[in-house]
Structure 1
Amino acid sequence: MADERLLREIAQLEKLGIDFSASQDETEVRTTCDLTADCRASGDNTLILHPHLGTFWCSACESHGSFADLIRLKEDAARDRLPAIPELDAEIIHEDEPPPEPVTADFSPAPIRPGRALAKQKPKVHTLDHSDRMDVRFPPPKPKEKKPFNGEKLIIALLSLVFLCAGLAAAGLSGFANYQSFSSSVADPLQSNVWGWTGVIAAVISFGGFTFFYWHTANKRMKEGWRALLFALAGMATSIIGTEAYISANNQAAAAELTRAGTNRDILEAQITDWRRQLEGIPPETRSVEGLEAYIAEVERVGRTEQKPYRDAQNELGLAKRRDDLQARIDAANAELLGLGSGNILTEAQSRTNLPSWFFAVMLELFSSQGTSIGLVALLILFSRRPHTGN
Structure 2
Amino acid sequence: MTDERRLQEIQRTSELLGLDGDVSQDSAEARLPCPLHEECVASGDNNLVLNWQRSSYACIGTGERGTLRDLVRQLESQRGGALVPALREADPEPPPLNAVPIDAEFSEVSRATNPVLRTEPKVLQLKPEQRLPTPEEIQADREERLAALRAEKAEKSKGRNERLIIGVLALVFLIAGLAAAGLSAFANYQAFSSTVSDPVQGRIWGWAGVIAAVISFGGFTFVYWHAANRRMKEALRALVFAFVGAGASILGTEIYIRSNAEASIAAVETASSNRSVLESQIADWRRQLEGIPPETRSVEGLEAYIAEVERVGRTEQKPYRDAQNELGLARRRDELTARIEAANAELLGQGTGNILLQADKRASLPSWLFAALLELFSSQATSIGLVALLLLSSGPRRMEA
Q: TM-score band (shorter)?
A: 0.5 to 0.7
CA distance in 2, matches of 1:334, 1:208: 51
The one of 243, 259, 262 equivalent to 1:249 is 259
The one of 343, 347, 359 equivalent to 2:354 is 347
RMSD, aligned α-carbons: 3.4
Q: Per the alignment, do residues 196 and 385 of structure 1 end up closer, same or farther by CA in structure 2, a change over 3 Å counting?
A: same
Structure 2 counterparts to residues 87-102 of structure 1, below 5 A? none
How far does residue 263 in structure 1 lie from its aligned partner after superposition? 3.7
What SS is found at the alignment partner of 2:338?
helix
**1:286–1:316: 8 Å Cα contact kept in structure 2?**
yes
Question: What do residues 153-210 of structure 1 show as CA deviations (whole Å, max 9, x unaligned)?
Answer: 4333332222222111111111111111111212222222221111111111111111
How far does residue 353 in structure 1 lie from its aligned partner after superposition? 3.6
Please name the residue that 2:179 is paired with.
Answer: 169
How far does residue 382 in structure 1 lie from its aligned partner after superposition? 3.6
Structure 2 counterparts to residues 7-26 of structure 1, below 5 A? none
Please name the residue that 1:260 is paired with.
Answer: 270
Please say if 1:130 is aligned against 2:90.
yes
Structure 2 counterparts to residues 205-354 of structure 1, below 5 A? 205-284=215-294, 290-291=301-302, 294=305, 298=309, 301-302=313-314, 304=316, 317-339=327-349, 343=350, 347-351=354-358, 352-354=361-363
**1:217–1:225: 8 Å Cα contact kept in structure 2?**
yes
Q: Per the alignment, do residues 293 and 163 of structure 1 end up closer, same or farther by CA in structure 2, a change over 3 Å counting?
A: closer
> Residue type of the partner of 2:384?
I
Higher-helix-fraction structure: 2
CA distance in 2, matches of 1:223, 1:278: 81
Please name the residue that 2:375 is paired with.
Answer: 365
CA distance in 2, matches of 1:207, 1:257: 35
Q: Which moved more, 1:266-275 or 1:291-300?
A: 291-300
CA distance in 2, matches of 1:192, 1:292: 54
CA distance in 1, matches of 2:175, 2:295: 71
Question: What do residues 271-323 of structure 1 show as CA deviations (whole Å, max 9, x unaligned)?
Answer: 11111112223344556554498479859944746x7x877666555444433
Structure 1 runs not aligned, ≥5 long: 1-128, 133-144
CA distance in 2, matches of 1:182, 1:358: 16
Question: What do residues 5-38 of structure 1 show as CA deviations (whole Å, max 9, x unaligned)?
Answer: xxxxxxxxxxxxxxxxxxxxxxxxxxxxxxxxxx
Please say if 1:148 is aligned against 2:150.
no
Structure 2 runs not aligned, ≥5 long: 1-88, 93-151
Question: What do residues 23-72 of structure 1 show as CA deviations (whole Å, max 9, x unaligned)?
Answer: xxxxxxxxxxxxxxxxxxxxxxxxxxxxxxxxxxxxxxxxxxxxxxxxxx
Structure 2 counterparts to residues 192-207 of structure 1, below 5 A? 192-207=202-217
**1:171–1:368: 8 Å Cα contact kept in structure 2?**
yes
CA distance in 1, matches of 2:213, 2:332: 60
**1:244–1:361: 8 Å Cα contact kept in structure 2?**
yes
For the pair shown, the structure with the greater C-alpha radius of gyration is 2
Please name the residue that 1:377 is paired with.
Answer: 387
**1:177–1:246: 8 Å Cα contact kept in structure 2?**
yes
CA distance in 2, matches of 1:336, 1:235: 43
What SS is found at the alignment partner of 1:186?
coil
How far does residue 346 in structure 1 lie from its aligned partner after superposition? 5.7
What SS is found at the alignment partner of 1:187?
coil
What SS is found at the alignment partner of 1:152?
helix
**2:191–2:252: 8 Å Cα contact kept in structure 1?**
yes
How far does residue 224 in structure 1 lie from its aligned partner after superposition? 0.8
The one of 153, 167, 173 equivalent to 1:157 is 167
Q: Per the alignment, do residues 155 and 268 of structure 1 end up closer, same or farther by CA in structure 2, a change over 3 Å counting?
A: same
Please name the residue that 1:184 is paired with.
Answer: 194
CA distance in 2, matches of 1:349, 1:317: 43
CA distance in 1, matches of 2:167, 2:258: 38
How far does residue 265 in structure 1 lie from its aligned partner after superposition? 4.0
CA distance in 2, matches of 1:361, 1:182: 15
What SS is found at the alignment partner of 2:156?
coil
